[in-house]
Chains A and B, each alone.
Chain A
Amino acid sequence: MTIEELDQIALSVRQENAKYDYEVNVCMDLACASQGAGQLRDELVKAVEASGKKVLVRRTGCMGPCSSGPLVRVDPEETHYHHVTAGHAEAIVANLGGKPVPDLQCDLNDHFDSQVRVVLENAGHIDPEKIDDYISRDGYKALLTVLTEMTPNGVIHRITESGLRGRGGGGYPTGLKWSTVAKATGDVKYVVCNGDEGDPGAFMDRSVMEGDPHRVIEGMAIAAYAVGASKGYIYVRAEYPVAVARLTTALREARRRGLLGNGLCGTPFSFDVEIRLGAGAFVCGEETALIASIEGRRGTPKPRPPYPAVSGLWGKPTLINNVETYANIAPIVRNGGKWFANMGSERSKGTKVFALTGKITNTGLVEVPMGIKLREIIEVIGGGVPGGHTFKAVQTGGPSGGCIPAEMLDLGVSYDALMKVGSIMGSGGMIVMDDTSCMVNVARFFVEFCMTESCGKCIPCRAGTAQMFTLLTRICNGVGTMDDLALLEDLCATVKETSLCGLGQTAPNPVLSTLKYFRDEYIEHIVHKRCPAGVCNIQAPVEVLA
Chain B
Amino acid sequence: MPVPFTPPPLPSDDKRWKIVNGTMRKNGFARYALIETLHTVQSSFGYLDDDSIRFVANSLRVPLSQAYGVVTFYHYFSLKPPGKHTLTICSGTACYIKGSDKLVAAAEKRLGIAPGQTTGDGKISLMTARCVGACSRAPVMLADGEVAGEMSGEHMLEQLERWAVE
Contact = CB atoms under 8 A, between A and B. Distances in A.
Contact of A357 (B36, B77, B136): B136
Interface residues of A, number: 52
A34 B135 CA distance: 12
B92 A279 contact: no
A276 interface: yes
Contacts of A280: 74-77, 130
Contact of B138 (A276, A357, A395): A357
B155 to A, nearest CB: 13
A395 B75 CA distance: 25
Interface size on B, as a range, is 35 or more
Contact of A295 (B32, B129, B148, B149): B32
A197 B131 CA distance: 9
Contacts of A69: 137
B96 interface: yes
B73 A455 contact: yes
16 contacts: A30-B147, A34-B146, A34-B148, A35-B137, A203-B136, A238-B39, A239-B130, A276-B35, A279-B35, A282-B130, A296-B35, A298-B73, A357-B93, A357-B94, A358-B98, A363-B135
B66 interface: yes
Contact of A34 (B129, B131, B147): B147
B44 to A, nearest CB: 15
B53 interface: no
B96 A445 contact: yes
A72 interface: no
Contact of B75 (A200, A279, A437): A279
B19 interface: no
A450 to B, nearest CB: 12
A294 B32 CA distance: 7
Contact of A239 (B32, B39, B131): B131
Interface string A276-303: 1111111000000000011111110000
Interface of B: 31-36, 38-39, 62, 66, 69-70, 73-77, 91-98, 129-138, 146-149
Contacts of A433: 97
Contact of B135 (A33, A295, A297, A355): A355
Contacts of B95: 201
Contact of A281 (B36, B73, B132): B73
Nearest to B60: A296
Given A199-B93, A277-B36, A363-B94, 18 more contacts: A31-B134, A67-B136, A69-B137, A202-B135, A203-B135, A238-B39, A280-B74, A280-B75, A280-B130, A281-B74, A297-B34, A297-B66, A357-B135, A395-B93, A433-B97, A445-B93, A449-B130, A455-B73
Interface in A192-209: 197-203, 206
Contacts of A239: 76, 129-133
A240 interface: yes
A109 B34 CA distance: 50
Contact of B97 (A35, A203, A437): A437
Contact of B131 (A201, A437, A446): A201
A278 B70 CA distance: 12
Contact of B39 (A277, A356, A446): A277
